[in-house]
Structure 1
Amino acid sequence: MPPTNKPFPHLPLILRYDGPARSGKPPHGDPRTRLAKENRSGHGGGLTNSAANASAAWRLRFEDRERANLPVLPKNVPLVLEVDTSLDLDELRKNFGFELVSEQEDGYVIVASEDLDLSLFLKKLQDFIAQVKGSATVAAIYRLEDDPDQSKRLSRILSERLLSEWPTLAENGDYIVDVGIACSGQIQIPPQPGAPKRNHRWSDMTWAKRQGEHATKMKDWTEQRNAAYMAWQDLADARYNEVSAIVNFYGGSILSQSDKPHTDTALADSFTLRIRLNGKGLRDLVLNYSFIFEVVEPDDVSLPQVLREAVARDKESVTLVPPPPNAPAVCVVDSGLQHEHYLLEPAVDRDAAFCFLPGASPTDVADYVRPGGHGTRVAGAILYGESIPRSGSYELACWLQNARVLDAECRLPDRLFPPALLNELIRRFHEGPRRTRIFNHSITASAACRTRHMSAWAAEIDQLSHLHDVLFVVSSGNLYSSGTAAIPGVRQHLVAGRTHPDYLCEAACRVANPAQSLQALTVGSISYREFEDPDWLSCARQAHHPSAFSRSGLGIWNTIKPEVVEFGGDNLVSRNTPPDVGTPPCGRECYPELVRSTMHSPGPAYERDVAGTSFAAPKVSRIAAHLQDVLPDESCLLYRALIVQSARWPGWTRNATPAEQGNIIRWIGYGVPDIERASSNTEHRTTLVTSGDRTIKARGCHIYQVPIDAEIRRPGSDYDVLVEVTLSYSAEPRRTRRNRRRYLSTWLDWKSSNQGEPLEAFRRRAIKTETEDEGAGAPFAWVVGSSANHGTVRGVSRSAGTVQKDWAIVKSNALPEDFCIAVVGHEGWSKDPDSAATYTLAVSVEMVGKEIPIYERLRVSVDNLRAEVEVETEVEAEIEALG
């Protein structure tokens, strides 16, 4: 890795405004709400009939269960409602006593009522008809679905595969499924009392009194919060026991459980169980337990492209220097490592190695995957990147920690439940002696991720990343060389007449679970080169095109996934008809050079003999480890921002049309990252970053200023300047919600000043959170844009994810004196006024043609601005003190 003594370190971003954002005009409400209020009798009467029918049907269902001596269940009624999308869903709890089970698309929600008679709901309906005050929320409920066979509910909670199999579910069949159980109940943590601010006129006695009153309020609040925790745990225990009773009745078993931890201001909304159950029991559970929001089958883990062995190669003459004791550690979550391999051994943290496989010894940490291992190859890519050292001395830059979770067949056992496993990884490695913060996760499912809810696996990555400031680097997943009708491989796409790389836009080629995680840094793969001989040719017809097997975006909720790509190789296609797809030895220059396990049979210590996104991801983990080395006190959010900030599209994309660019960003995200651009600068490129944890509440606005030196903006100059901006943030997730704005407690986006727009004018525009005013001056021609129709790339928005990059080319003489970026907070699922997101921001300015050096000029301008801001702050403090 590059040395850490860089002459051009990143510069600080200067915060110029920290205050509230002002909402613009409220969005137009759904006209159906207005029409309902104008026709109270018709609207209320229709809902009354639907509610009465649902109540009667469920009463008969429970009576039938009792006569059949089936396990006793709480007499709750699940309902599928269509509601106004602007409705605060907590109103369903407050007004009707409904517990939100899950939020669906297009305004649909699944709720559960503890009252079999729906008495409160029916009373509110009558109040609405009679125009009684406090009943207006009824107008925002458009429909209560008539669902006697529960087909509508089932279509919203079962996976596609289970839904198709449901009519023919074998009563005695053996099924393993992951079941999501909503568990919010009617329990709420009250708002936390705000800390008092001292008035300069208060005496010490008055201030002490205010502090004492606040301490009393905090004590009462803490007791109420702890009581809410206990009530939630009682509810979770009760629901676990209810599910367990059904599972045990049918001779099944609960294999694993995953709970989401509470925070100071919010309770967990769900837990997930992995269960083994026969078909009859599964049908009973799903149809009759009201609090289920998701039932999916466990994912099969995708394997890399397998190749033949190469001829053995003698150990090279190279001296490997172990990492320094305090060097960063990367946890390799994989199939184990060959600890004794001479290319890995100096960097392996043997004491930390652990096997998580059920039934295996914790010390059985070797890589048994034939012929040349999987985790061993991944670990080598973390250490060496693109090429293995042949001779001389090589200093290893990070420690490798071995978390063996895949068996000898490179599969994740059904008994190893990913959310529970991830928590164990955090406990053992992040909370261990090295405080590991980077986790390489080259494990994904074999099929495209589901888009109904964030999966339990991906949501756990989001939760743990937010709570512990860790970074999961996840591969986007592989298409098999040849697959099935349900999961088509490369061969099936080609035979169907779909060409490469266009077929990567097919839904079946979407990133695989858990690569859709919003907090994970997802990595796809690109090819090295074009290849052709009399028998084979590469799928990629140009160098650096997307790999044939690399799963692509968009991700869940149209997020940009993968965010970056690295070199993972390519498939070759035979010239016969129909074609074969494989990785024959003749194309070895198309595959990455990787360390290779020598445990099983004679073979080389390293070789070009496999390909896959599994081997692209560790090259990004390598960059993350280097960033931790040079910026040890910064957050993983900044590491992620700098990696994405450093990424560039390859040269073949240069002349793409806007429509083609829309496909490119799906295939390769923001492009190929660069370790030098991520960690340092040059005379002609400068990156400015926020430092430390920055938090922002909903309806908050932070404005940062980048002063542009007059020489750079000189009127006579006409140079191309590349401006790049990346926002990286995290917030509390909630898995029962079904879009980005409800999935996160607080969500963020950013906007920029225009060319020639003064700071104060931009501040006034930036704090209007709901408007898209152009403002003074010409806007920057951002490539992606803040919405799907704003950038030059069509159909994609940078604001959909939690890492948001954009870039633009600007003429140097058109740059503003002060370029400003506003980070704006928006309300998500949390109604707590103190709910906040944590973020980092990076801004880069680069003289594309290197006509004039800019680093020193920008550094001096930043120092001058910082001094100016410090003086302004001192003056403001003096004025406030004077009253």
Structure 2
Amino acid sequence: MPETYPHLTLVREQPVNPRRSRPAPIRVREPENWRAFGREMGQRLQMARKRAAEAVGGFDERRLLKLELGTPLDPAEFQKISRGIEIVSQEDKTVILAFATEAALGEFEERLTTLAEGGRPTYRNVLFALKGFDHWTEDDRKGWALRQEGWPEQDRFALDVELWPVRPETERTQCWQSFEAWLRKNGIEKLDDVKQAHLILYRVRADRQQASLLLRHRDVRLVDLPPRYALEVSLLQTDIQDIPPVTSPSADAPGIAVLDSGLTTGHPLLAPAVGDAQSFIPGLGPDDQNGHGTLVAGIALYGDVEEKLRARIFTPTLRLYSGRILDANNASDDKLIENQVETAVRYFHSEYGCRVFNLSYGDRRKPYLGRHVRGLAVTVDMLTRELGVLFVVPTGNFEGTDTIPADWRNDYPDYLLTREAALLDPAPALNALTVGSLARWDATFNTQRYQHDAAEQPIARHDQPSPFTRSGPSVSGAIKPELVAYGGNWAVNLGVANQWIHRQGLGELSTCKDFASGRLFAEEAGTSFAAPHIAHLAARVLIEYPQADPNLLRALLCAHARWPDSCETLLPDKAKRLRLCGYGKVQESGLERSTDQEVTLVATDKIPDRHHHFYEIPLPAEFLEGRQRTREITVALAYSPAVRTTRIAYKSLQMEFRLVWAGDLSHVSKMFNAATSRDDYQRIPEANGARIGTRNRSAGTVQVDTWTLRRTNAQRRAQKLFVVVTRIDESWGRELTFTEEPYALVVTLRDRENAEARLYSHVQQRLAQRERERVRVRAGR
């Protein structure tokens, strides 16, 4: 094996320069006839006020109005009309929800009347952005699952009810207290609740008449059916003999927590590594009655279980923790899953310092179809930022609809890119790592047994996306999933008219809950079993870097990901490949330590709003010179912003990086400081040949790109290469952000075609030389 070395530290250059910005002018087209516009908007406002008055409930007397825009506008602009307007939510770029007092509505009418009479009211450019007024209707309040499935057939049924997350905290408290009193008054049973700064969610039990009232309640944002978790697991027996005794991990081994259906703690391959197993469901113990949690836990602890089995070596290097958050049916009918997850995470984090959490499930009733991120994803994003923990979640499984796909084999992989195969909650969470599934095997047990029978044909081939994985993107086009890992495959029987799905022999091997009856192992296919492969790698990085935060873990994992050749061949369109495969499959060879042919540099820092940070990449002459060959430079940036569900942007701030060639630090800093507007910034020329591109990568909170060098000329070798990190806060998000926001930056240099490469020592020398230069500069000041 090649010699390995610790990753190197990348030092930020001085100066730290603020990014000067000027506010973008509001470009609103004036109506040709001001009078007609004023009259029409005034009439629509009156009608909307009347309809809004028909709403029931509400913690105060304000009306909830829907402002429809013809021109996208910062919602805060409407608060200039009156202090009595509070922006509640931006539902998309042209729909804003606002609470308004009678006095504020009167000011609106007064300005519109002035327009209708030929006058020139103040803030008329804000008025001109309007297209109309309306109220938040019963149909608006219906969630995706309720629209698709309709009301349950039972007399009384459970519903999830989300309220508007109003501010400040005093109003938020008034809101939920008023709502709970209203529930009691109307005989609606409260089963559970979540009360967070950006999410107020109730699970209630109601009949049809009460449900109709909920759809008319002023403070209700959304009514939907409770989650349905796609976790059906069929266990298959695999015999094993002569497994050597399993030893316990070291006392300081990093912990990995699996939040699932529980754990069979007595399993001989798991027991020596189990640190704690708890149930967070009242009345139920921590044991795994379903089997799913034990399957996931085996992969989370060992990674490639099948590889370990072939070698007959099971040596855990991690401490395993289990939090049961689902019952025997993998459901959480009476309790909100957000509460179980939050309680479990806080417990394992405070008691054992756990920082890597695997949540292998997805809510089939909450596909992400654009606009707002909701549900468990919000809780995951919030806990990541507050506690500094990493969540690893799957995309969720796609099991087809009545019409999609029409033919599993012939429609593959196109059906995976339809709206029906969109991400399931909590996969859209921006601060988590979302994992899609790849097929490892393509021969079923029957195919192996009957080699002359061609009836059973795989849907996917080795290293192609699994036929059940789901596709992104997440909010604002953020790349999701970020990573893919082995999760299994399906096959169809071509000799049967409806092409039965076959799974036996195509899944991921892991530990079985029924070990006592002789079944130590089971295999199953699903994105649930792809996610723990990545969680295992993340926890393993903590062995080498015990202080790594979730930003650094995400940046390292994604910086070492590559698209499998099979994915590139199947999906030549890069946009489709990004939606299904993200940045690719993690290559483990250089993940934890550097080599002579692959060197990783890391930086963790904090940056103020509207500032740039500059890093010079220490490119040795030996890397740039010599025979023509393929050399790679990968850059990964990760941060964990505060989020808000009532804004389309969702993230409170934006960080981006650019890779640029320049003569020196002075040149590159002047270039970026001269970019005083967003358009100027976008026009800064980045190094040619980016594999992903700025537009594709910049929406996510982990951003990765790779540049390939094959030949360099003298002019390029005379220049220096810089990574520039920039932070820009959203106007509404400044109250949520830190003065200095933390981030992680990873740069990886690869020279794999050079058998004589001594890249690590050469980079070390460049770093030492650069530090001596800094010392001389400081001494001369």
Q: 1:667, 1:400 → 2: CA distance?
A: 30
Q: Does residue 1:115 correspond to 2:102, yes or no?
A: yes
Q: 1:602 maps to which residue?
A: 517
Pairwise CA distance, 1:465:
0.4
Pairwise CA distance, 1:84:
6.8
Pairwise CA distance, 1:673:
0.7
Distance change (3 Å), C-alpha of 1:46 and 1:143 = same
Q: 1:385 maps to which residue?
A: 303
Q: 2:146 maps to which residue?
A: 162
Distance change (3 Å), C-alpha of 1:625 and 1:174 = same
The amino acid of 2:93's aligned partner reads D
Q: 1:171, 1:134 → 2: CA distance?
A: 54
Q: Does residue 1:287 correspond to 2:216, yes or no?
A: yes
Q: Secondary structure at the match of 2:246?
A: strand
8 Å CA contact 1:746, 1:836 repeated in 2: no
Unaligned runs of 5+ in 2: none
The amino acid of 2:392's aligned partner reads V
Pairwise CA distance, 1:300:
0.6
Distance change (3 Å), C-alpha of 1:725 and 1:53 = same
Pairwise CA distance, 1:530:
3.2
Q: Secondary structure at the match of 1:825?
A: strand
The amino acid of 1:49's aligned partner reads Q
CA deviations on 1:250-272 (whole Å, 9 max, x unpaired) are: 32122222222xxxxxxx35522
Unaligned runs of 5+ in 1: 66-70, 188-231, 261-267, 788-796, 877-883
Q: 1:495 maps to which residue?
A: 407
Q: Secondary structure at the match of 1:443?
A: coil
Q: Does residue 1:278 correspond to 2:214, yes or no?
A: no
Q: Does residue 1:469 correspond to 2:392, yes or no?
A: no
Pairwise CA distance, 1:648:
0.9
Q: Identity rate of aligned residues, in percent?
A: 25
- 1:1-400 matches, within 5 Å, as 6-23=4-21, 29-32=26-29, 35-36=30-31, 40-59=34-53, 61=54, 74-83=60-69, 87-96=73-82, 97-115=84-102, 118-126=105-113, 134-136=122-124, 138-146=126-134, 153-163=137-147, 173-185=155-167, 187=168, 232-233=169-170, 235-260=171-196, 268-289=197-218, 291-304=219-232, 306-307=234-235, 309-310=236-237, 312-314=239-241, 316-350=242-276, 353-360=277-284, 364-369=285-290, 373-386=291-304, 387-389=307-309, 394-400=314-320
Q: Does residue 1:846 correspond to 2:750, yes or no?
A: yes
Distance change (3 Å), C-alpha of 1:10 and 1:155 = farther
Higher mean C-alpha displacement, 574-583 vs 292-301: 574-583
Q: 1:820 maps to which residue?
A: 722
CA deviations on 1:113-158 (whole Å, 9 max, x unpaired) are: 23388223334445667867753464354133355xx6xx445442
Pairwise CA distance, 1:617:
1.0
Q: 2:185, 2:107 → 1: CA distance?
A: 34
Q: Secondary structure at the match of 1:319?
A: coil
Match of 1:436 among 351, 354, 358: 354
Q: Secondary structure at the match of 1:707?
A: coil
8 Å CA contact 2:71, 2:129 repeated in 1: no
Match of 1:527 among 439, 442, 446: 439
Q: 2:767, 2:36 → 1: CA distance?
A: 65
Higher mean C-alpha displacement, 470-479 vs 667-676: 667-676
8 Å CA contact 1:318, 1:390 repeated in 2: no
8 Å CA contact 2:369, 2:419 repeated in 1: no
Q: Does residue 1:785 correspond to 2:696, yes or no?
A: no
Q: 1:30, 1:175 → 2: CA distance?
A: 49
- 1:476-515 matches, within 5 Å, as 476-480=395-399, 483-485=400-402, 493-495=405-407, 499-515=411-427
- 1:420-435 matches, within 5 Å, as 420-432=339-351, 434-435=352-353
Q: Secondary structure at the match of 2:426?
A: coil
TM-score, normalised to structure 1, is 0.80
Q: 1:392, 1:497 → 2: CA distance?
A: 36
Pairwise CA distance, 1:23:
3.1
Q: 1:530, 1:171 → 2: CA distance?
A: 41
CA deviations on 1:755-794 (whole Å, 9 max, x unpaired) are: x65443332333425135798988321111111xxxxxxx
Pairwise CA distance, 1:538:
4.4
8 Å CA contact 1:321, 1:393 repeated in 2: no
Q: 2:705, 2:311 → 1: CA distance?
A: 41
Q: 2:103, 2:682 → 1: CA distance?
A: 53
Q: 2:59, 2:539 → 1: CA distance?
A: 51
Pairwise CA distance, 1:46:
2.8
Q: Secondary structure at the match of 1:730?
A: coil
8 Å CA contact 2:65, 2:134 repeated in 1: no
Q: 1:736 maps to which residue?
A: 646
The amino acid of 1:724's aligned partner reads T
Q: 2:310, 2:618 → 1: CA distance?
A: 47
Pairwise CA distance, 1:631:
0.7
Distance change (3 Å), C-alpha of 1:368 and 1:522 = same
The amino acid of 1:80's aligned partner reads K
Pairwise CA distance, 1:327:
1.1
Q: 1:830, 1:602 → 2: CA distance?
A: 56
Q: Secondary structure at the match of 2:257?
A: strand
Q: Secondary structure at the match of 2:226?
A: coil
Higher mean C-alpha displacement, 547-556 vs 777-786: 777-786
Pairwise CA distance, 1:690:
0.6
Distance change (3 Å), C-alpha of 1:241 and 1:848 = same
Distance change (3 Å), C-alpha of 1:140 and 1:400 = farther
Distance change (3 Å), C-alpha of 1:778 and 1:461 = closer
Q: 1:770 maps to which residue?
A: 678
CA deviations on 1:571-606 (whole Å, 9 max, x unpaired) are: 111122434343454xx2x3222111226x734212
Q: Secondary structure at the match of 2:411?
A: coil
Distance change (3 Å), C-alpha of 1:757 and 1:415 = farther
Distance change (3 Å), C-alpha of 1:163 and 1:99 = farther
Distance change (3 Å), C-alpha of 1:539 and 1:760 = farther
Match of 2:609 among 698, 723, 744: 698
Q: 2:701 maps to which residue?
A: 802
The amino acid of 1:743's aligned partner reads Y
8 Å CA contact 1:78, 1:110 repeated in 2: yes
Distance change (3 Å), C-alpha of 1:524 and 1:55 = closer
Q: Does residue 1:676 correspond to 2:604, yes or no?
A: no
Distance change (3 Å), C-alpha of 1:519 and 1:304 = farther
Q: 1:861, 1:535 → 2: CA distance?
A: 59
Distance change (3 Å), C-alpha of 1:244 and 1:853 = same
Pairwise CA distance, 1:435:
1.0
Q: 1:72, 1:638 → 2: CA distance?
A: 44
Q: Secondary structure at the match of 1:845?
A: strand
TM-score, normalised to structure 2, is 0.90
The amino acid of 2:281's aligned partner reads L
Q: 1:203 maps to which residue?
A: none
Higher mean C-alpha displacement, 843-852 vs 857-866: 843-852
Q: 1:340, 1:170 → 2: CA distance?
A: 40
